[in-house]
Structures are given as C-alpha cells and as structure tokens.
Amino acid sequence: MSLPAFHDRIAKVRSFNRFFTRKIGVLREGHLQSEFTLTELRVLYELVHHGDQQPAALCRDLGLDRGYLSRLVSKFEQAGLITKVPMPNDGRAKLLSMTAHGRAVYEPLDRRSRDEVGEMLARLDDTDQLYLLDAMRTIETLLDQQGDLKFSEPFVLRPFGPGDMDWITQRHGDLYEKEQGWDSSFTALVRQICADFERDFDPAREQCWIAEMAGQRVGSIALARSEDDDVAKLRLLLVEDAARGYGLGARLVDTCHRFARLAGYRKMRLWTTSSQQAARRIYMSKGYTLLSEEAVHAFGKEMVNEIWEMEL
C-alpha cells in the first residue's frame, strides 16, 4: 500500500470517530442530559455492573489518570454515591462500592441510555440492525486482537504464535520452581496443557495471548473450552518479574473476559492454589468466588488446590 493511501485510511477512521461520538452525544456537556460527564458515568457503570473495584483497576481498565480518578472519587463520596469498603482478606486495601443512593441516581440514567440506543435501532429494520451489530462486532474483534495502543500502557497483547507455547512452558517451570519450589512435574503438566490446547485449538471459542514489553515476552494467559459449553477455563496466567506493578495481570484477565463474553460463555472457571496470593487478589477483585478447596501433595509440595468461578 502506498503512503498516501494509508494516510487516506487514517483520515477515514478519524472521520468515523467524529461521526460516532457526535451521534451518541459524547460531546455534550452533561451526558444523557444529566449532571455527569461521559467519564463520570463510565466509572459509575463499572461499579454498578461489575461490582466493587480497586481504584488502580479502574485506572487501568478505563485509561484514567490516578489523580483525576481520585478527584472523581472525592466528588462521588461527597455526593453519597459511593463509599470505600475494606478489601476481603486485606483490610488495608480499599474497594470502591456503590451506595444505595448511588444506585438510585444511576438507574434512571442507565434506562435513558438503553432508551436512546433502542430509539436508534428502532429506525432500522431487522436486517439493518443485524448488519450494524455485525459491523460493530467486527470492529471490536479486529481492534481487540491488536492489544492496546502504545501510548496507553507499557505493554502490548497479541494472540499466540509459533514458539510461544514452548516459552510458556519453560517460563512457568522456571518461575514456579523459583517462587513456589515446585518440581519438574509441574513443567510436565504445563507442557501437556499447551500441547492439548494447540492440538484442539478452536479460534471461535478459545484464545491465548502473549504480553510483550519492548519486544520481549513478559506474560501470558489462555481461555480454553470446558466440558460445559457455557463455561470457559482461564489458564496459563503468568507475569514476569520485570513486568509486575503495571497492572498486566489484571489486563490479561480482562482480555480473557471480553473474549469469553463475545464467544457466548456465561461463566469463567479457574484452578489455582492458596499460595498464589498475587493471582488470587486479581481474581477476587474481578468478582471470582471460591467454589472448592482441597489439601493435596503435588509438584513436590503440600498445597491447597482451589477452584474459583465468576459469572460473566
């Protein structure tokens, strides 16, 4: 493709962005004819629909500056819309939670948003509605596969490719030997999981992502089918030491969840152990609940296996 042709495509994408933001009223001073901006409503939406959230997680998920979110939180607290509650198993950390008053204020705005979208769709016949939804799904799928833009986070996510499963196997073995003291039987298990995933890979229902920083692999996660068509399994979550502290683990989990919803799953399920505290904190913050636990001897250690699950 020539450079002028590429620049023309850039201009067309920007033109569509301007059209769409105008169409849905993003540029209005008060979104949905309310006192709130679009960003403020998005924060409230996350708390209503996805449950209590850590401020850091909201910053990562919504691309917000921490200082800006802090000011929003203060405003919402003064208005009685949200409150801070202790995080389970860690009383020092706080979660943002909607109050009953906050839900009462937000619910009519949520209905108004649904009504506006319904009015827009009602102007189209059934065939055009499905055509519009398919086009939206195509845009979301193509852009989500790219990972995030380089100016938003220090890492990018991409679908797995040649050699990645070998890397996942090796790094799981090395890191868990170093951090948990597990023996080579864990490496063998990961190798089998990776081999099974590649052999039976169904791109419509499964995916594995690799995180990169400065061109180097620093993390992974996979979404796999289960015996239940409504349940997806979260597997192979790994974050290298050099990439910790950037919210990468949470970002990988969120990417799995988005794919699972698009693929039609209703629940997520995962296996972990009680000693994997960092991962467990991520799972709890995303809404997972502990289904079962069992004391076992595995990988050369005494441990407690745990099964966690979340409604999508």
Residue 87 has what pLDDT? 76
| Type of residue at 198 | E
The one-digit pLDDT tens for each residue of the chain (312 residues) are: 677 777 788 788 888 877 777 766 654 544 556 678 778 888 888 888 888 888 877 877 777 777 778 888 899 999 999 999 887 666 677 889 999 999 999 898 888 888 888 888 888 898 998 888 888 888 877 777 655 554 456 678 889 999 999 999 999 999 999 999 999 999 999 999 999 999 999 999 999 999 988 778 999 999 999 988 999 999 999 999 888 877 889 999 999 999 999 899 999 999 999 999 989 999 999 999 999 999 999 999 999 999 999 999
Residue 198 has what pLDDT? 94
User: pTM of the full predicted structure?
Assistant: 0.54
Nearest CA among 309, 226, 286, 215 for reference residue 49: 286
Kindly give the interhelix angle for 38-50 and 55-62, rounded to the nearest 10 degrees. Answer: 120
| Type of residue at 303 | M
Q: Which residues are CB-neighbours of 284 under 8 A, at least 6 positions away?
A: 87, 88, 89
Residue 8 has what pLDDT? 80
- 203 vs 32: CA distance, rounded Å: 38
DSSP H or E segment with residue 234 = strand 231-239
Domains detected in the chain: 3-123 (1.10.10.10), 156-311 (3.40.630.30)
